[in-house]
Every structure is written in C-alpha cells, then in structure tokens.
Chain A
C-alpha cells in the first residue's frame, strides 16, 4: 500500500505537474481509499494518521481541518440516530415488519413486491442501515418458517434498500452530505430524487423477478405447503412485539414531528430568515434532545448504543481529507480534466458523473467517493448553468452503484454479516455480482434517462 501511494505521488508530481501540497493531499486521500478497500478494520486508524500528516506537513491548518470536517452533517446524523434508536426500542420497526408479513397474505409476488417497497421506504425514512437490519431479521424468520433459502430474498431486499436510499435526504449519508454541501432541500429531494428512485425501484423489482424466477417458483410451492399450517395456528399479532402501546405512540409522534420540520425546513428557514439547512439540523437536534429529556435515565445509553461513532469519526476525518483536496486545488485539476473530456455539455457531464460515481461506489465506500467528488462538482460553478443536475447524478450513481458488488454499500456489508452470523452462509463474489450488476446498471440507466429528460427543468 505504501509503495502504491508513493508511486502515485511521484507520478502526479512528475506527469500531472502537481505541487508538493497537492501530491501530499492526494496521496493521503489515496491511502484512505486503499485502506477502505483492503484493510477495512484499519480504516479509522489510517484516517487519523492521515489528518496528523496533513497538519504536520502544513498542507492544511487546524482551522480548515475543523471547517472541512462537516460537523453539520455529523450532528444531523447523530440526532437522527438517537431518534431512530427510540423508534427501535419501542418496537416500531418490529411492528412494521409483522404488519408487512400479514399484508403479503403469503403470496410470493406480494412478498417480493412488499418486501422491496418496505425496504426502500424504510430506508428513505430512517436510513439504509436500520432498514436492512430489520428487513433482514424478518426475511430470515419468514424463510425459516417457509423452509426456504433466505439468500435470494435477502439480496433482493438489499438491492431495494440501496435504490430507496436515494429517494430522500434521510436515506443515505451521501444524501445528507450532498444536501448540506449543495444547499438542496428536503423538498428538492422529494421533487427530483424521490420519483426517480421509485422508477428505479420498479425496474429493480422487474430485474429480480427475472433473475430469481426459479427460486421464486420454488418458494411458491413452499408457501402452498405452509398455508395449511398458517390457517391452523392463526399467528402473527403485530402488537405482540410491542411492549407498551403508549410509548409506541409517543415515540411515533416525536418522529413525525421531526419529519414534519425536516420536510418543511426550507419554508421555515425562508420565513425566519435562517441560513440554508439550519432548520434541517435544528429539527434533528431538537428531536434527539426531546428523546433524551423524556428518557433521561437512558440518555447516555442512546448516545453510546445507537450512535455509530466508529463510522461517524471516519466520516469526519474523511471529509477533512476531501477538504484538503479542494484546499490545495486538486479537485479543480480533476474538474478541468473532466471538463476537457466532457466539454461543457450538460448531458455529457451528467452521464460522466453518474457512471463514474456508479462504478466508483461499486468498489469503494460511496461516502469516500462522494466526499471526493463534491468539491469537483463545486469547481464547475460558473462553467455550467446549474450544478443541480450534477448533484442528482452524483446521488443516484453513489446509491445505485452500491448494488453492483457485495462491498458496494454499508447495507450490503451488514446483510452479509447477518447471513454469516445467523445462517453460516458466505456469499461468493459472483453470487452477488451478476444480479447486482444487472440491477445496478438498470437502475442507473433509468436514472440516466430521467436526468436527461429533467435537467432542462432543473436548470430553469
């Protein structure tokens, strides 16, 4: 790894004409990329050392490191994780999962479609990670009950989760990051990202129906056998998994309150003369504050158990390193190179950014890729009539590309972990790859068509 980083640094200095600061900033970022690719458990350690090196070599100063660390994104995610933690504790997700199973009426077509829509919508509301944890739990129970292999249904759910995570700014950390950096609002996401995400989801469902037709046919037979047993036991009471209904309703009310303020944040900001996305952050912090005041004896537990500090610390350091790329002008150079290749044509730029982020996020953590590409897109300010179509291209590529390989997104990795822990199954690279490649490519293609149709309206 050290050899690769040194070699690329030398190459950038020699052939791309990079300054010393630019070489150091890009080499340290490359080390983070390689760290996430090859040494997953060392990635936070590598991120810490990277920041220390940037400071010691005077590439950036402490003030800029703090500024680039995007505390707004981190605090928003902390707030949402706490509120979602409350929902989880009172049993909202368990209740929802059992409701969904009942709604399937144990018909295979309905199982697949409802599973996909629930995965996607839950990801849109509470994020891809919590969505897949609960969806995976219900898929494993359901498949054990029907005595069938859980892998096809679990992969299907993960694909739907990733596609759904692009639908709102709550779905994926890259959505929050893009919203905070671009000034796009929740309403913008509902207007431009949500419909594309739903269309791509429908395309994904068609792909899985074709790809897993044999497995789903087999499932149909299993369901027929189990249906007699279902009639006898008359199971599944969704309230049996909820401890206290009053707490349940209170928790849902807090979440709806937070969601309401998030949905209206742009209008409230305009009304009160606040800066871009101030209300977004305030709504998340207020919601989590109320949770911690209400459950004061467990407040510390919420902060420690429900907030993924490992990932958030990595994000902070990563954003600072991506900021160093912008600060030293590396991202301007990349933007110039893309503009040189794509010209100033919006359709070509949309296509390049969409597919670069799609392919990139299939191999890398999509947050790493998006953090690096945000300053590149900002460098196009003034060159193109509006940056909005490029932000959407980055969002869709980053989310949908995650479907292509089994390490493409956090949701994939968690689903694999669940399979390894509970089913003792290791998914091989190609078992995921073929269905992931087709589903990822089709969803991205739908996004491409929609973006090419919609970009003149976004600019206008």
Chain B
C-alpha cells in the first residue's frame, strides 16, 4: 500500500503521523512524506537576486552559520518521528498552493491512502485562512485519514 502523509511542521501534522502509526507499520507499506512550500510573491521575485546576494555575503560575518531550507528541516523532523517508530519514509517537497499541490501529488504518485492533520480553525479565522483539509476532502479520489485534535477534557 502506498501512503502519502502531508506535514507542515505543526503539532497537528506530527500528531497525525503518531495516530496513523498502526496503519503505517503494516507489511508492504511504502510511506512518503510531503511538505508543500508556499509560492513566493511575484513582487518579491525582482528583488530575490539582490536579497540572496546580501543574505549570502552577510552570512560571512556570522561565522559558523549554514543555511538549511526550513522545508527540509520540517521533513527531517517528521522522518525522524517515523524512524524512531521503525517506519521508513521517503520525503518530497513541492511549491505552490498546499491543497492543489497535495491533490497533484496524489494523482501523480498513485497512492492508496492520504494522511493529514487538521488545524481545526473556526469562525472568522477559518473564513480568512480557508481550509486546506476541506479543499482536499472535497476533491480527493482516494481514502483520506484526517487527524483532528479532540477538544480539551474538563
């Protein structure tokens, strides 16, 4: 079975990974971790080269600093969580609208199950943020496992 897990580095996605471990540990399971990086604002692109040059040169003054893409760090963190539970996973990064890119990856990769966490935004925040999970839920053609944090017990 091919399983795709979406991660954004948040606690929600880490919990989704932990929650789905019993399925991930099944024999003959291939796990892929996906992080979708945001698309860079068009207006910034003109200044991108100038910024990159400044960023690299100034780094010389901060001795010992090495840049590592935060997307790579997020994927490594999730991969480590899986490895510590004995699950091997390959990692992938895409750039663009999160929901659209997840749907594209599902279509291109021929997966059997999609796992993701939900932030559980409500009210006005949900309206402004939109919901990646909702958009994926509406359009995905394979089984989907959504982990939603249960409400606090009083």
Contacts and interface: CB of A to CB of B under 8 A. Distances in A.
Contacts of B108: none
Nearest to A229: B64
A75 interface: no
Main secondary structure of the interface of A (DSSP, over half): helix
A145 B74 contact: no
Nearest to A414: B44
A422 B128 CA distance: 24
Nearest to A416: B41
B146 to A, nearest CB: 20
B54 A144 contact: no
A233 B64 CA distance: 9
A41 B44 CA distance: 12
A434 B74 CA distance: 28
Nearest to B45: A417
A137 B57 CA distance: 10
A430 B58 contact: no
B40 A420 contact: yes
Contact of B42 (A41, A136, A235, A240): A41
Interface in A410-451: 410, 413-414, 416-418, 420-426, 428-430
B54 A93 contact: yes
Given A310-B46, A416-B41, A426-B38, A94 B64 contact: no
Nearest to B64: A233
A187 interface: no
Interface residues of A, number: 48
Interface in A92-149: 93-94, 97-98, 101, 129-130, 133-134, 136-138, 140-142, 144-145
A310 B62 CA distance: 34
A145 B62 contact: yes
Contacts of A416: 41, 44
A235 B61 contact: yes
Contacts of A423: 70
A136 B54 CA distance: 10
Interface string B59-71: 1111111010111
B62 A235 contact: yes
Contacts of B47: 129, 133, 414, 417
Given A413-B44, A416-B44, A429-B128, A422 B61 contact: no
Contacts of B44: 413-414, 416-418, 420-421
A417 B55 contact: no
Given A414-B43, A420-B40, A425 B65 contact: no
Interface string A135-166: 01110111011000000000000000000000
A290 to B, nearest CB: 21
A137 B61 contact: no
Interface in B29-43: 35, 37-43
A235 B44 CA distance: 31
A413 B43 contact: yes
A410 B44 CA distance: 9
Interface in B4-60: 35, 37-51, 54-55, 57-60
Nearest to B124: A430
Interface residues of B, number: 35
A40 B58 contact: no
Contacts of A421: 40, 44, 48, 51
B24 to A, nearest CB: 25
B98 to A, nearest CB: 9
A94 B53 CA distance: 10
B46 A137 contact: no
Contact of B61 (A41, A237, A414): A237
B71 A424 contact: yes
Residue among B35, B38, B65, B125 with max Cβ neighbours from chain A (10 Å): B38
B54 A137 contact: yes
A418 B64 contact: no
Contacts of A233: 63-64
A202 interface: no
A238 interface: yes
B55 A91 contact: no
Nearest to B46: A308
B102 to A, nearest CB: 15
A426 B70 CA distance: 12
Nearest to A138: B58
B128 A428 contact: yes
B41 A413 contact: yes
A420 B128 CA distance: 18
Contacts of A136: 51
Contacts of B125: 428, 430
Interface string A303-314: 001001011000
Contacts of B54: 88, 93-94, 97, 133-134, 137
Contacts of B128: 428-430
Nearest to B70: A424
Given A420-B39, A428-B125, 11 more contacts: A88-B50, A97-B58, A130-B50, A133-B54, A144-B65, A144-B67, A233-B63, A417-B40, A417-B44, A421-B44, A424-B37
13 contacts: A88-B50, A93-B54, A97-B58, A133-B47, A137-B51, A142-B62, A235-B61, A240-B61, A241-B57, A241-B58, A417-B41, A421-B48, A425-B38
> What are the 9 tightest A-B residue pairs by CB atom distance, in nearest-first order?
A417-B44, A417-B41, A424-B70, A137-B54, A420-B38, A235-B63, A137-B55, A413-B43, A426-B38
Interface of B: 35, 37-51, 54-55, 57-65, 67, 69-71, 74, 125, 128-129
